[in-house]
Amino acid sequence: MIDRYINLLIDRGIIWQGEEEIYKYKLTCFLEKTFTISIMILISLIFRQTISIVMFIVSFFWLRSRMGGFHLDSFKGCFVGTIGTEIVLILLIKYRVVPLIISEILSAIAAVIIFILGASNHPNMNYDKDEYRFNKKYARLIVIVEFSAILFFIGLDVSEIYIQAVEYSIILSAVLLVMAFTMGQHKKVYYS
């Protein structure tokens, strides 16, 4: 289906033949992310945790878009991992398994880890030094904004489930970032 759509764009002169692989990759990523987020929202509706999961999704994907982190080898593996993680998060949030003070401490530690490491350079992305520096800078900025939002929510006495949704997004992001570095999914960028 994607190939036919890309070929149609080429035939109509909307994109060039040389851009075919880039557009296939971007369109595939877009469709996979749209499908995954749709299923995540559906599951959140079933568990009646839609607002907290939307907050998690926005926080997590905003940070992950600049930071990167560990990736599974296939969409199927990633999808199953994502949905499994979401269900665990919903249960943690809904039943308040982790006391707020513990999730606050863990998210503060996670924010420091992200601030120190910045971002990963996955071999598939292969950033040059300027792109990598840019992503590290914005990942650090995003984690500061998200952690500040947590502190703001605490100050406003917002419900724990919403605070923990953002906290868990930072914690999960840090775990995936550390996994990328420790499991060989980070390609060193050399600065001259």
- pLDDT number for residue 191: 65
pLDDT mean over 51-77: 94
Over the stretch 95-118, which tens digit does the pLDDT of each residue have?
Answer: 999 999 999 999 999 999 999 999
- pLDDT number for residue 17: 87
How distant, in Å, are the alpha carbons of 33, 112, 174, 184 from that of 116? Answer: 28, 6, 10, 18
Q: In 10 A of CB 117, how many CB atoms?
A: 19
Is the confidence at residue 124, as pLDDT, over 80? Answer: no
Is the confidence at residue 119, as pLDDT, over 80? Answer: yes
- Decide: 163 and 149 in contact? Cβ < 8 Å: no
Per-residue exposure over 142-160, b if at least 16 CB sit within 10 Å of its own CB, e if not: bbeebbebbeebeeeeeeb
**Domain residue spans in the chain?**
1-46, 50-182
Is the confidence at residue 141, as pLDDT, over 60? Answer: yes
Is the confidence at residue 192, as pLDDT, over 60? Answer: no
Structure tokens belonging to residue 96: 């308040």
Structure tokens belonging to residue 86: 């979401």
Q: Which ranges of 95-159 would DSSP assign to H, the alpha helix? A: 100-117, 129-155
- 12-26, 144-158, 168-182: which range is least confident on average? 12-26
Most confident of the ranges 16-30, 33-47, 69-83, 113-127: 33-47
3-class DSSP assignment, residue 68: coil
Q: Please indicate, yes or no, whether the overall pTM of this predicted structure exceeds 0.75.
A: yes
Give the rounded distance of the alpha carbon of 96 from its chain centre: 23
Q: What residue has token string 């982790």?
A: 98
- pLDDT number for residue 15: 87
Over the stretch 28-52, which tens digit does the pLDDT of each residue have?
Answer: 989 999 999 999 999 999 999 999 9
Between 114 and 9, residue with greater pLDDT: 114
